[in-house]
């Protein structure tokens, strides 16, 4: 089988499309024939060295496909099941080894590609809007990068809970996508802080360095800043007294792993998402599909903000004629 490995951390050029022996499952593990793997900023962090890894290693953090083999002790998953997962390294591959406890069943009516596009970003949007800050009817919510895959999901889930949603984008084309996702007002990055100063209940910020100070300024007293990523670079150290001066603000740096630590919570979040997709209440925008061998290009496009919506890698064995670049 083929997979994307890194032998040294660095730029997109370190992503190697290599051939490896087909894997076999260990105790409690499952081998999945991968239909699609999602491309996420966390993959860039692993590739670049922002998150250290023991090398060499296969990367990629989410995917979906069909169970090909099960290991000893696996009870709730069978060969032929369609399953999906998140936060499992080695997902950029034709075959992935996944702990059975990390898998979720994909229901009829949701394709493997949609499932792969939903898991990591979808569950992140779910915990941010349902747990980190439980969005309520009438809340004023700011979502940065509203045309991206995460941004579109956050806008939709906040609207499902009755919020007024403000978002930031960089172009007219991206503004159109953010409005189609349901944003009530779309702003540019250079003026959002002044326009919203002191009025926002919660900010969902995956941009990081470039928007952080403005995000704090946009919050009302006792508002919450959820910094869930750093696409523009890491935020410099912050004096906690700043949060006092700006209105007794709350600041959190959450991550998905702590919100799906219990299997029941993992299944609940995934079930909610697949249910909303099946009911037509949540739209997953798959904007680009790349052959697995083109992982470098996918990383370049994501980091360069040349895409909107979700990016998928499609193994050659399942690609057919629908990949694009």
Task: Identify the weakest region by mean pLDDT among 29-43, 68-82, 208-222, 309-323.
Answer: 309-323
Is the pTM higher than 0.85? yes
pLDDT at residue 321, as a whole number = 43
255-282 in b/e form (b: 16+ CB < 10 A) is: ebeebbeeeeebebbbebbbebbeeeeb
Residues in the chain: 325
For residues 247-251, average pLDDT: 98
Indicate whether 308 pLDDT > 90: no
Indicate whether 121 pLDDT > 50: yes
pLDDT level of residue 317 (50, 70, 90 thresholds): confident
Could you tell me the end-to-end alpha-carbon distance of the chain, in angstroms, rounded to an integer?
Answer: 22
pLDDT at residue 319, as a whole number = 60
pLDDT at residue 35, as a whole number = 98
Indicate whether 4 pLDDT > 60: yes
**Residue-averaged pLDDT of the chain:** 95
CA distance 161 to 111: 26
pLDDT level of residue 325 (50, 70, 90 thresholds): very low
Indicate whether 196 pLDDT > 90: yes
CA distance 315 to 283: 24
Q: What DSSP designation does 93 have?
A: B
For residues 86-100, average pLDDT: 97
pLDDT at residue 174, as a whole number = 94
Indicate whether 194 pLDDT > 90: yes
pLDDT at residue 125, as a whole number = 98
Percent of the chain's residues with pLDDT above 70: 98
CA atoms within 13 Å, Cβ hemisphere of 221:
3
Indicate whether 323 pLDDT > 80: no
């Amino acid at each position: 089988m083929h997979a994307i490995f890194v032998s040294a951390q660095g730029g997109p050029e370190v992503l190697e499309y290599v051939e490896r022996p087909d894997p076999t499952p260990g105790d409690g593990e499952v081998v999945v024939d991968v239909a699609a793997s999602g491309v996420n900023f966390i993959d860039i962090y692993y590739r670049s060295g922002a998150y250290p890894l023991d090398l060499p290693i296969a990367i990629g953090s989410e995917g979906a496909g069909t169970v090909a083999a099960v290991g000893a002790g696996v009870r709730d998953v069978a060969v032929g099941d369609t399953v999906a997962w998140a936060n499992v390294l080695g997902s950029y591959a034709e075959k992935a080894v996944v702990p059975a406890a990390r898998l979720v069943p994909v229901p009829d009516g949701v394709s493997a590609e949609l499932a792969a596009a939903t898991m990591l970003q979808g569950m992140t949007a779910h915990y941010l809007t349902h747990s980190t800050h439980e969005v309520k009817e009438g809340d004023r919510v700011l979502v940065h990068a509203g045309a991206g895959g995460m941004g579109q999901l956050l806008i939709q889930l906040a609207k499902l809970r009755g919020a007024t949603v403000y978002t930031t984008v960089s172009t007219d084309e991206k503004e159109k996508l953010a409005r189609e996702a349901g944003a009530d007002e779309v702003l540019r990055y250079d003026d959002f802080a002044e326009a919203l100063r002191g009025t926002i209940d919660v900010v969902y910020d995956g941009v990081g360095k470039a928007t952080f100070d403005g995000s704090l300024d946009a919050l009302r007293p006792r508002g919450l800043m959820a910094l869930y990523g750093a696409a523009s670079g890491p935020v410099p150290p912050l004096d906690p007294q700043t949060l006092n001066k700006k209105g007794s603000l709350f600041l959190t740096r959450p991550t998905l792993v702590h919100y799906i630590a219990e299997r029941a919570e993992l299944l609940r979040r995934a079930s909610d998402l697949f249910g909303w997709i099946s009911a037509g209440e949540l739209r997953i925008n798959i904007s680009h599909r790349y052959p697995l061998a083109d992982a470098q290009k996918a990383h370049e496009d994501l980091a360069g903000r040349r895409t909107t919506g979700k990016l998928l890698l499609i193994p050659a064995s399942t690609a057919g004629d629908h990949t694009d670049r």
